[in-house]
Protein backbone atom coordinates (compact mmCIF):
# COMPACT_ATOMS: atom_id res chain seq x y z
CA UNK A 1 0.00 0.00 0.00
CA UNK A 2 1.41 3.41 -0.90
CA UNK A 3 2.20 5.96 1.77
CA UNK A 4 -0.49 8.54 2.43
CA UNK A 5 0.02 11.99 0.99
CA UNK A 6 -1.08 15.27 2.47
CA UNK A 7 -0.78 17.50 -0.59
CA UNK A 8 -3.04 17.35 -3.64
CA UNK A 9 -0.20 17.53 -6.12
CA UNK A 10 -0.77 16.51 -9.74
CA UNK A 11 1.26 13.35 -9.05
CA UNK A 12 -0.79 12.48 -5.96
CA UNK A 13 -4.05 13.03 -7.87
CA UNK A 14 -2.80 10.86 -10.74
CA UNK A 15 -1.83 8.11 -8.28
CA UNK A 16 -5.21 8.25 -6.55
CA UNK A 17 -6.96 8.12 -9.94
CA UNK A 18 -4.88 5.08 -10.90
CA UNK A 19 -5.92 3.37 -7.65
CA UNK A 20 -9.57 4.14 -8.39
CA UNK A 21 -9.32 2.80 -11.94
CA UNK A 22 -7.70 -0.37 -10.52
CA UNK A 23 -10.71 -0.90 -8.24
CA UNK A 24 -9.02 0.18 -5.02
CA UNK A 25 -10.38 2.66 -2.49
CA UNK A 26 -8.90 6.05 -1.67
CA UNK A 27 -9.50 8.60 1.07
CA UNK A 28 -9.93 12.17 -0.12
CA UNK A 29 -11.07 15.53 1.23
CA UNK A 30 -14.33 17.22 0.30
CA UNK A 31 -15.43 20.70 1.33
CA UNK A 32 -16.63 19.40 4.69
CA UNK A 33 -15.18 15.96 5.50
CA UNK A 34 -12.83 13.27 4.27
CA UNK A 35 -14.49 10.52 2.30
CA UNK A 36 -13.61 6.93 1.51
CA UNK A 37 -14.25 6.56 -2.20
CA UNK A 38 -14.15 4.04 -4.98
CA UNK A 39 -14.93 3.86 -8.69
CA UNK A 40 -18.69 4.37 -8.96
CA UNK A 41 -18.81 2.08 -12.00
CA UNK A 42 -17.03 -0.81 -10.26
CA UNK A 43 -19.45 -2.88 -8.19
CA UNK A 44 -16.61 -4.60 -6.32
CA UNK A 45 -15.18 -1.25 -5.24
CA UNK A 46 -18.64 -0.09 -4.18
CA UNK A 47 -19.19 -3.29 -2.19
CA UNK A 48 -15.81 -2.75 -0.53
CA UNK A 49 -16.88 0.71 0.67
CA UNK A 50 -19.91 -0.84 2.34
CA UNK A 51 -17.77 -3.63 3.82
CA UNK A 52 -14.88 -1.47 5.08
CA UNK A 53 -17.25 1.05 6.65
CA UNK A 54 -19.63 -1.59 8.04
CA UNK A 55 -22.35 0.35 6.26
CA UNK A 56 -25.71 -1.30 5.68
CA UNK A 57 -26.64 -1.71 2.00
CA UNK A 58 -29.91 0.17 2.53
CA UNK A 59 -27.91 3.33 3.32
CA UNK A 60 -26.94 4.54 -0.18
CA UNK A 61 -23.82 6.37 -1.32
CA UNK A 62 -23.22 9.77 -2.87
CA UNK A 63 -21.48 9.91 -6.26
CA UNK A 64 -18.90 12.66 -6.81
CA UNK A 65 -18.62 13.65 -10.46
CA UNK A 66 -16.56 16.12 -12.49
CA UNK A 67 -19.66 17.74 -13.99
CA UNK A 68 -23.30 17.57 -15.00
CA UNK A 69 -22.75 15.48 -18.13
CA UNK A 70 -21.18 12.70 -16.09
CA UNK A 71 -23.78 13.07 -13.33
CA UNK A 72 -26.47 12.31 -15.90
CA UNK A 73 -24.84 8.91 -16.45
CA UNK A 74 -25.75 8.07 -12.86
CA UNK A 75 -29.05 9.89 -12.31
CA UNK A 76 -32.07 11.40 -14.03
CA UNK A 77 -32.15 15.21 -13.79
CA UNK A 78 -35.37 17.17 -14.06
CA UNK A 79 -35.44 20.89 -14.95
CA UNK A 80 -35.08 22.02 -11.32
CA UNK A 81 -32.04 19.78 -10.78
CA UNK A 82 -30.47 21.13 -13.99
CA UNK A 83 -30.96 24.71 -12.78
CA UNK A 84 -29.52 23.95 -9.34
CA UNK A 85 -26.46 22.22 -10.81
CA UNK A 86 -25.88 25.07 -13.27
CA UNK A 87 -26.07 27.64 -10.50
CA UNK A 88 -24.26 25.93 -7.61
CA UNK A 89 -21.81 23.40 -9.11
CA UNK A 90 -18.99 23.02 -8.52
CA UNK A 91 -19.62 23.38 -4.83
CA UNK A 92 -20.93 21.75 -1.66
CA UNK A 93 -24.36 20.92 -3.05
CA UNK A 94 -25.57 17.33 -3.23
CA UNK A 95 -28.59 16.83 -5.46
CA UNK A 96 -31.03 14.12 -4.52
CA UNK A 97 -32.23 12.87 -7.89
CA UNK A 98 -33.73 9.67 -9.25
CA UNK A 99 -31.02 7.02 -9.46
CA UNK A 100 -30.16 4.86 -12.40
CA UNK A 101 -29.00 2.33 -9.76
CA UNK A 102 -30.53 1.35 -6.40
CA UNK A 103 -27.64 2.06 -4.01
CA UNK A 104 -27.03 5.78 -4.54
CA UNK A 105 -28.64 8.71 -2.82
CA UNK A 106 -27.24 11.79 -4.51
CA UNK A 107 -24.71 13.22 -6.92
CA UNK A 108 -22.43 16.21 -6.49
CA UNK A 109 -19.57 18.07 -8.14
CA UNK A 110 -17.02 18.89 -5.43
CA UNK A 111 -15.44 22.31 -5.25
CA UNK A 112 -11.72 22.87 -5.42
CA UNK A 113 -8.59 21.03 -6.44
CA UNK A 114 -7.33 17.76 -5.11
CA UNK A 115 -10.25 15.44 -5.68
CA UNK A 116 -9.22 12.28 -7.56
CA UNK A 117 -12.21 12.57 -9.90
CA UNK A 118 -12.06 16.35 -10.50
CA UNK A 119 -11.36 17.25 -14.08
CA UNK A 120 -11.80 13.64 -15.14
CA UNK A 121 -8.52 12.37 -13.67
CA UNK A 122 -10.16 9.06 -12.89
CA UNK A 123 -12.46 9.16 -15.89
CA UNK A 124 -15.37 7.94 -13.76
CA UNK A 125 -17.50 9.06 -10.85
CA UNK A 126 -16.34 8.36 -7.32
CA UNK A 127 -18.70 7.00 -4.67
CA UNK A 128 -18.29 7.77 -1.02
CA UNK A 129 -20.24 7.50 2.18
CA UNK A 130 -22.45 10.45 3.01
CA UNK A 131 -21.27 12.75 5.78
CA UNK A 132 -24.50 12.44 7.76
CA UNK A 133 -23.69 8.80 8.48
CA UNK A 134 -19.98 8.08 8.82
CA UNK A 135 -20.57 4.34 8.46
- Name 124's Cβ contacts closer than 8 Å, sequence gap at least 6: 20, 21, 39, 40, 41, 42, 117
> Which residue, among 11, 30, 51, 135, has the nearest Cα to 3 in the 3D structure?
11
- DSSP string covering 71-103, please? HHHHEE--HHHHHHHHHH-SSS-EE--EESSTT
Q: What pLDDT sits at residue 83?
A: 95
Provide the pLDDT confidence category of residue 5 given band limits of 50, 70 and 90: low
User: What burial class does residue 7 get, using C-beta atoms within 10 Å of its C-beta: 0-12 exposed, 13-18 middle, 19+ buried?
Assistant: exposed
Query: Does some domain include residue 1?
Result: no
Q: What pLDDT sits at residue 112?
A: 53
What are the pLDDT digits (tens) for 17-28?
999 999 999 998
The DSSP symbol for 117 reads T
What are the pLDDT digits (tens) for 47-74?
999 999 998 888 888 888 888 998 898 8
Query: Does some domain include residue 39?
Result: yes
Query: Does some domain include residue 30?
Result: yes
User: Phi/psi of residue 15, each to 5°?
Assistant: -65, -45
Domain of residue 80 covers 10-128
> Which residue, among 104, 90, 71, 72, has the nearest Cα to 31 in the 3D structure?
90
Query: Does some domain include residue 3?
Result: no
Query: Does some domain include residue 135?
Result: no
Query: Does some domain include residue 106?
Result: yes
CATH of the domain at 65: 3.90.870.10
Query: Does some domain include residue 73?
Result: yes
Total domain count for the chain? 1
What does each C-alpha distance from 121 to 15, 70, 116 come to in angstroms? Answer: 10, 13, 6
Q: Is a pLDDT exceeding 50 seen at residue 133?
A: no
Query: Does some domain include residue 111?
Result: yes
Amino acid sequence: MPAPTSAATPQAIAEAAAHLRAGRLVAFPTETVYGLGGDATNERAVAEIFSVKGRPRFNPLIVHVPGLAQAENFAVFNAAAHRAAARFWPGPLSLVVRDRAPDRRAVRQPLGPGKPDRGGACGRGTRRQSRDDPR
